[in-house]
Amino acid sequence: MKIKSTEIVDTFAEAFKMWASRIIITAQTSDWALAAARSMTGFATSVIGCKCEAGIERQITADSSPDKRPGVSVLLFAMDSESLGKRLVERIGQCVMTCPTTACYNGLQSEHSVVVGGQLRYFGDGFQISKKLNDRRYWRIPVMDGEFLVDEKFNVQAAVGGGNILLLGKDMNTTLRAVKAAVKAMREVEGIILPFPDGVVRSGSKIGSKYKALIASTNDAYCPTLRAVRQDTSLAADVNCVLEIVIDGLDEAAVREAMRRGLYAAAKPGIRQITAGNYGGDLGQFKIDLHSLVDGQ
């Protein structure tokens, strides 16, 4: 199957059950809201090494934010709700409360919640004040520019992590142009993030390693420099660059739609194939078949 001249490999992306939360950060200006969001989503590319995965979902205009100030929506993912709660307390406390003029609100409707502001309130050293509006409790924590307003609880929900596509291109520049186009198209989908730098990862991994201490190592079947020494390489002779996009979403439908848009946007001249990473279907709970994403299939 092809989209234009690009072959869509008959395979599937293997994704996993995760837990997610949406955090709404507002500030006096959009620049300060973005500063807090960038800080909060730093070092959050993979649960393998970062304990969570996070990214900016979208910017929010003042007329649609909780306090009528410009804001940013952030999604944060972890493997379970307890771990997610810990990451929320750490990152909101260290990256949002520290940023001038910010406030922080729960952005999800869900049956499950974790206490965040209810823990951060102790930073107020007894001077913190709670306020309840429409069965929703907020904490006002005194800080040096005024006060930090934060929801007591943040809702969390079951989610999907690890959707992915791999672009196999003839050279670096061609593949970079295609992957940027795919990232741009994917980011138009609500409810997803692309946790790696500008949405792209070059160091794709496989399960396991020759070194016992490592649980993951380089995906050598897709490394062009190893093609000559690997009999089971996955690369044709004219493929010299592989880049991957990983997608986390609030539900499978959002991940599928992002992958679908990415396929079409990335199918450019010089992209020989688009495939996906999986583990034979033995680990992930979601199997997203690439051919099922192509229109008319």
Domain regions of the chain by residue span? 2-14+159-293, 19-157
Tokens found for residue 54: 């996070």
pLDDT, tens only, 261-274 = 999 999 999 999 99
> What are the distances in angstroms from CA 40 to CA 33, 45, 56, 129?
11, 12, 9, 25
Q: Which CATH class is domain 2-14+159-293?
A: alpha beta
Short-list 47, 43, 24, 260, CA closest to 162: 47
pLDDT, tens only, 210-256 = 999 999 999 999 999 999 898 889 999 999 999 999 999 999 999 99
pLDDT, tens only, 9-39 = 999 999 999 999 999 999 999 999 999 999 9
Question: What is the DSSP-derived secondary structure letter of residue 95?
Answer: I
Question: pTM (2 decimals)?
Answer: 0.96
SS3 content of the chain, % helix, strand, coil (to 5): 30, 35, 35
Tokens found for residue 23: 């955090």
- Alpha carbon distance 261, 244 (integer Å): 15
Short-list 180, 194, 181, 221, CA closest to 46: 194
Predicted confidence at residue 297, as pLDDT, reads 57
CB 84 within 8 A of CB 21: yes
- Is the CATH number of domain 19-157 3.30.70.520? yes
- Alpha carbon distance 236, 224 (integer Å): 9
> Fold identical between 2-14+159-293 and 19-157?
yes
- Three-state SS for 80? coil
